[in-house]
A = this chain, B = another copy of it.
């Protein structure tokens, strides 16, 4: 169940990556690379830093097939994909974010990382792929500038750590923080919540 959600999140993030590469005049190869980096970059960085041996997609190339296929479909069906209402994408992206974050935190926890590292690995799994994608596209990463996105990961990662510390049962430990990420993210979209910006007079 978690595994299927993870694969769906991979497809969603790959599709979002392709759409964000529009207007950059990338060719088919570039689009696939951007999609792969968007979908797999966060988990790859997490596994490299935690020295999880080996990186998840090296053992299970199904992630590569899913990300590649999603990229190809989006590339060749871009006009159809772009007709999907933005709200559908925002919700799908929020679900992908929730799954990636809590799977990342859970992996770090199972490897015995300290609590703060567990939270950071959750956030990293959720947002680092998008940051790398924007770096590839030579622009300042959107996630560092916009409304509450990473904060949703922080809330979910924090809740995961609290539940893990309290030795919550498995059927709550993973789903509850996922719902928290999703709820915070959807609330932020709905009410246009945002964090203070550096350099603004309020600081």
Residue of B nearest to A60 (CB): B114
Distance to closest chain B CB from A121 (angstroms): 9
For chain A, give the interface size range. 35 or more
Q: Which one of B44, B61, B196 contacts A27 once the chains associate, using CB atoms below 8 Å?
A: B196
1/0 contact string of A102-118 vs chain B (CB within 8 Å): 00000000000110110
Residue of B nearest to A147 (CB): B27
Cβ contacts under 8 Å, A75 to chain B: 198, 203
Is the Cβ of A78 less than 8 Å from the Cβ of B25? no
A-B contact pairs, 13 of them (CB 8 A): A21-B198, A25-B199, A26-B197, A27-B198, A28-B198, A29-B143, A29-B154, A29-B195, A31-B144, A51-B54, A75-B198, A135-B138, A138-B139
